[in-house]
Amino acid sequence: MPQLPTGSTYNIASTIAASKVTTIVTNATEAVVTSTTHGYSNGDFVIMTSGWGRLNKRAFRIKSVTTDTFVLEGCNTTNTNFFSSGAGVGTVSKVSAFTQITQVMNPSSSGGDAKQVTYKYIESDVEYSINDGFTAVTYGMELDADSIGTAGYTALQTLTDVQTDTVLKITTRSGSINLIPCTVALNETPLMTEGQINRVKVSINGNNRPVRYAS
């Protein structure tokens, strides 16, 4: 069924626990991570660092938790051309708390598109193009300027000051979830336009590719 943005909620990871070392990250349709006595639970959200560039700094929900292992839901690492066996270890950090950003207006996104390289051989009169990865994802939104003092606004202020890695979680009315690993920049200069309420702008600067869950 088609979805509309109305009713979506925005939550920013405002507290992230200390990182834990990962000793094994498997090549599997859903990667299994080993981190001794990690203390996580099914449904937790985590941020990974990894020797695999396609996994590094991405955020995932976890499942199938045991004392020392968990599964990164939806993280396919079977292609050893991209995920060299044994090279995916690094650290994992649990999102301890999300804080809702309220009074959101005019969300927008850009980036994530294929980067193209165009070339031409001397003997040919036709150009060719190949894909060379993807552009960085940027997400933007405006907030009611009077939302200053709310928990979400305060969390954005703090994250803007420290510029640490975080996660934006967008949950649609149907229950689907979008995770954007990012840093945050809150511009507190009010936008004042005749006939409109005063707003402030938030820029979400993506660290790697987002992850989507149907529910």
CA-CA distances (angstroms) from residue 191 to 18, 148, 188, 196, 200? Answer: 37, 14, 9, 9, 6
Global pTM value: 0.93
CB atoms within 10 A of CB 4: 9
CB atoms within 10 A of CB 190: 14
Q: Residues 67-78: pLDDT tens digits?
A: 999 999 999 999
> DSSP secondary-structure letter at 90?
E
CATH 2.40.30.180 fits 14-97, yes or no: yes
CB atoms within 10 A of CB 89: 18
Q: Which helix (H) or strand (E) holds 62?
A: strand 59-63
| Long-range Cβ pairs for the range 79-84 (8 Å, 24+) | 80/27, 82/52, 82/54, 83/27, 83/52, 83/54, 83/55, 84/51, 84/52
Q: Where are the domains of the chain?
A: 14-97, 100-213
SS3 161: helix
Q: Residues 154-204: pLDDT tens digits?
A: 999 999 999 999 999 999 999 999 999 999 999 999 999 999 999 999 999
